A and B are shown apart, each in its own frame.
Chain A
Amino acid sequence: MTDKEIIAKWKNETAPLLPVLHAFHDRDEYISEDTIRTVSSELKIPVAELFATISFYHHFSRELPGKQAPRVCTGNVCCLNGGTELLEELKSDGATPMPCAGRCDEMVPVIKGDKVLVGKNSSSLECHASPLPIPNPGNLEECIFRYIREKNRSTLDGYQNNHGYAALRQTIKSSPENILQLITESKLAGRGGAGFPTGLKWKSVAEANGTPKSIICNADEGEPGCFKDRAIMDHDPHALIEGMTIAAYSTGSDRGFIYLRYEYPETEGTLQKAIDEAAQNNLLGEEILGVEGFNFDLQIRRGAGAYICGEEGSLLNSLEGKHPFPRNKPPFPVTHGFENLPTVVNNVETLASVPHIVRKGPDWYQSLGMGEHAGTKVISLSGDIERPGNYEVPFGLPLKTLLHDWAGGAPKGKEIMAVTMAGLSGGFLSGDDLGVTLDEPSIRSKGSFLGAGGIIVFDETRDMVKVAHSAMEFFAHESCGKCFPCRIGTQRLKERLSEEGSGLDALEWVKEVDEIGEVMKATSACGLGIAAPNVTDSLQKYFPEAISNHANK
């Protein structure tokens, strides 16, 4: 494609910057100075601003070898599995490291161009479909994974073999108010980690002034150790599309975006195919299923390597082509979201649960949880565990049941020493606190949170200070640089956890780390800076000896 063709294709679309940059990046393998000048003048973005915004995204190359040079995952799970060694092996091909790429249930992923290869070393690297969740080991009834293992589930035919789009057909016979009521009654809440009640969010958008309204799916699954959204999108894409379309109907929204992380290139193909199929069958587009005035245009926007874009304010800025800093809240996206208009921002898992809930009813969904808890959660389990993978658990399931009975415990007869919660953001649980049940009240009572549901397991042989350093290195790497406590705090905590040490004695080490942590938790502008000190807090709580050994080194 020529420059002109690329520009012409996107210029009049909504949210054009990311696709334009990807088109140039795909064509040239890097983003040249000429490209920046062209895009700047065509999309009316000042050159300095565009130059700066591109530098924010770590997967946009500014020079050759660009897109085809291998990116090797040296994330928090992969560095347990040989990621660092694989990076060394591939250095001669121009390989560079990348943080967690969301294939933690396999060996180390390497992104080359638009392919993800997975392997233990350079000779075993191969490209294959991402793993399906194994059948529920507890034989419990599932919601989100109910039909995901069925043959051809990712195609429209396969999807419709098992009630696909039945919920949408049911929805259009009902009023938007009834659907909002149903979702509210189901107690479905945000599965990306924040846990905001979905029904309330939708209702706020439905009632907010201003059009067009938008449904945005947050598929920027960047939290290390989280790969559940990938599984849903790879194997059950129509469930997401149907969920978004139901959200559109209920809120009166007519445009939708799936903001997909860069690290899932094959997923983009799968989703696009599903969107095209749906559109051809009048399940998306104009007058959906013949309902007058029910229009919903759904497009994919691919990120370019920035964890913070999973924060909804950053995500919206990124979509709008702005510098992806988080936004100040309030106002919230439900009234001032995409292009300052009412917007639903929901996680993949949340949206993909919707068709099941609509079809089977709120009481059914609530009953899936254990005891007082409503519904289910997908947990991504990885690290030192016999059977890593995605597990749909009822809220309230004991963590130990998942770790030992479902996933086989630590490999080679070792003991589980600690696990992370919420990917990395929840810090660690260890010792007696491994007796929690998988629900927010239980986990929060231990100072952590379940969040997006990533759990990384560490066996007794792991050096927890090193593990914590790698976690803090991630947060420092991904801190956007806007607010002071996070920008400086993540860096200082990382330094204090580094092998070289900080030159502080143990007493002073603890004092400084605590003080930095306190100020980050109290004053950071978004969740990244608020959560990062969970790592140092929990490290100190469970491994005080490791700290004193480390500080006195």
Chain B
Amino acid sequence: MISAKDVPANARILTVSVDGELVEFKDGETIYEVADRCSREVPTLCYDPRLEAFGSCRLCVVEVEGIKNPVASCTTKATDGMVIKTRTNDIEQYRKTLLEMVASENRNLDIDPLAGYASQELGKLIERYEARPDRFCGKQSGKTNQEDKNPFILRDYDNCISCYRCVRVCAEQEGDHAINIINRGFETQISTEFGNDLRDSQCTFCGQCVQTCPTGALSDKKALRAKELPEEIKKTRSVCPYCGVGCTVDILSKGDRVVGIQPAMDGPANEGALCIKGQYAFDFVHHPDRLKKPLIRQEDGTFKESDWDEALDAAAKGYKKVLEENGRRSIYGIASGRAPHEAAYTMQKFIRSNCGTNYIDNCSRS
């Protein structure tokens, strides 16, 4: 039996049957969460575990004994004694038909993985269910908005399947409410206020909409610059070098070039979130102006390339001189917001014990 985490020892044990297997769960868990925990691989398109369950794609429907129609497992709470079947022939057929219907209104199923973290979801499901994209032909929905001049987010709504993950992540995770759903039915369309470009909206270009999009309708313009590079995409787990929050990122590279950044959905500090800098501001890595060695300013104001020993000596000499000539209150330390806790701690220790002053602050609040 698979156990639910955090079940208090004295609580009554709640169980459901999932495809004949008895599974413990804790009060409040949805059928999808329980099924996912026992690796049922229930397919979804509108689901993002960080967001409130929405129940629109209906791919996650399952049979529950005693309920006539299949229920959306993402929005239905498990109850004690429930008998659940996650992949009967009927259910699998509904899923296949649904995928064929979705594919029928989607122009492009072959999406470059550089487009975004979740961009392969639809394509993979179509493949898994051997769904035929040429059935149910008819009008296609969504109007592309490739004219949007912003440098970061490609908005190709030809590929939009109206799962609204972008709208929901923008509202629920980011709190920006920059985009929403206009019109209704087959005419629904993702839009900013008054249909403006993203630059004229509340968008902060955090890129979360791009990373949750399951079809590549929203994609990472910067990463796609490297689409034609022949090498394989390599992902390297790291920590964002900007502020001290410590967002976990996956750095995408092709050969020896950094080509894009994706947030780590399991990053403890960010859970898939990044800001505009962490998401898009990585061009400095390969920029010709980038400093690779310390520079020491000379008497005439010019810079001389140096190594770290010489540079640190020069800095120490400078501190000593100022302390001797002007006293300890002439020093004021401001730690960089980019520095992590340890570096910030070392900085204040340096200012307090070496320079003998409490004039220490952090750029985040000065």
In the complex, chain B residues whose CB is within 8 Å of the CB of A332: none
The reply to whether A523 and B94 form a contact with Cβ atoms under 8 Å apart is yes
3 pairs of A and B residues whose beta carbons are closest in the complex:
A46-B177, A52-B180, A481-B188
Decide yes or no whether B20 CB sits under 8 A from chain A: no
Q: A48-B202, A523-B69 are in contact. Are A323 and B58 (CB under 8 A)?
A: no
Q: Taking A481-B162, A484-B57 as contacts, is the C-beta distance between A519 and B94 under 8 angstroms? A: yes
- How far is B53's CA from A317's CA once the two chains are assembled, in angstroms? 17
B104 contacts which chain A residues (CB < 8 A)? 488, 492
In the complex, besides A328-B75, A487-B186, 17 extra interface pairs with C-beta distance below 8 angstroms are A46-B171, A52-B181, A56-B184, A479-B184, A481-B162, A481-B188, A484-B45, A484-B162, A487-B185, A490-B185, A491-B139, A492-B138, A518-B94, A519-B98, A523-B69, A523-B72, A525-B55
CB-defined A-B contacts under 8 Å, sample of 6: A51-B193, A53-B180, A55-B182, A328-B53, A476-B186, A485-B101
**B187: chain A residues within 8 A (beta carbon):** 481
A548 → chain B closest CB, angstroms: 20
**A489 engages B184 (CB within 8 Å):** no
B145 close to A (CB within 8 Å): no
Residues of B near A308 (CB, < 8 A) are 184
Among A330, A478, A515, A518: residue with most chain B CB under 10 A: A515
C-alpha spacing A53/B180, complex, angstroms: 9
| Complex alpha-carbon distance, A48 and B69, angstroms | 35
Closest to A57 in B: B184
CB distance from A142 to the nearest CB of B (A): 34
How would residues 122 to 143 of chain B score, 1 for a CB under 8 Å from any chain A CB and 0 otherwise?
Answer: 0000000000000111110100
- Complex interface: chain A residues within 8 A of B61 (CB): 522-523
CA distance A491 to B202 in the complex (A): 33
Residue A477 at the B interface, CB < 8 A? yes
Total residue contacts A-B, CB cutoff 8 A: 144
Within 8 A of A (CB), among B22-80: 45, 53-59, 61, 69-70, 72, 75-77
A443-491 residues at the B interface, CB under 8 angstroms: 476-485, 487-491
Q: Is B97 an interface residue (CB 8 A)?
A: yes
Closest chain B residue, CB of each to CB of A485: B58
Chain A positions 35 through 62: 1 when the CB is less than 8 Å from some CB of chain B, otherwise 0? 0100000000011110111011000000
CA–CA, A128 to B101, complex, Å? 47
The answer to whether B102 and A516 have CB atoms under 8 Å apart is no
Contact between A512 and B177, CB atoms less than 8 A apart? no
Residues of A with C-beta under 8 A to B72: 328, 523, 525
How many B residues, CB 8 Å from partner? 50
Please give, as numbers and ranges, the residues of chain B lying within 8 Å of A48 by CB-CB distance: 177-180, 191-193, 201-202
Q: Is the interface of B mostly helix, strand, loop or mixed?
A: loop
Chain A nearest CB from B187 CB (Å) reads 7
> Cα distance A33–B191 when bound, in Å?
15
Q: Is the CB of B97 within 8 A of A488?
A: no
Residues of A participating in the B interface, judged by any CB pair closer than 8 Å: 33, 36, 46-49, 51-53, 55-56, 306, 308, 323, 328, 330, 476-485, 487-492, 495, 502-503, 512, 515-516, 518-519, 521-525, 530
Complex CA gap A323/B182 in Å reads 10
Q: In the complex, which residues of chain A have a beta carbon less than 8 angstroms from the beta carbon of B192?
A: 48
Q: How far, in Å, is A299 (CB) from chain B's closest CB?
A: 26
Whether A488 touches B69, Cβ cut-off 8 Å, given contacts A48-B201, A477-B185, A480-B185, is no
Please name all residues of chain A whose beta carbon is closer than 8 Å to the beta carbon of B101 when the two chains form the complex: 484-485, 488-489, 492, 516, 519
Q: Would A479 and B58 count as touching, CB distance under 8 A?
A: no
A323 to B90, CA, bound (A): 32
Is there a chain A Cβ closer than 8 Å to B284's Cβ? Answer: no
Give every chain B residue within 8 A of A492 (Cβ-Cβ).
101, 104, 136, 138
Residues in B neighbouring A518, C-beta threshold 8 A: 94, 97
Q: Which of A46, A47, A330, A478 contacts B185 (CB 8 A)?
A: A478
Which residues of chain A come closer than 8 Å to B137, judged between CB atoms? 502-503
Report Cα–Cα, A478/B183, bound state, in Å: 10
What is the chain B residue whose CB lies nearest that of A40?
Answer: B193
A48 to B181, CA, bound (A): 9
- B250 / chain A contacts, CB cutoff of 8 Å: none
Given contacts A48-B192, A328-B75, A484-B56, contact A523 B70 (CB under 8 A): yes
The one of A33, A46, A328, A524 that contacts B202, using a Cβ cutoff of 8 Å: A46
- Min Cβ gap B139→A in Å is 7
- With a 10 A CB-CB cut-off, give which of B45, B70, B138 has the most chain A CB atoms: B138
Let me know if B308 is at the binding interface, CB within 8 A.
no
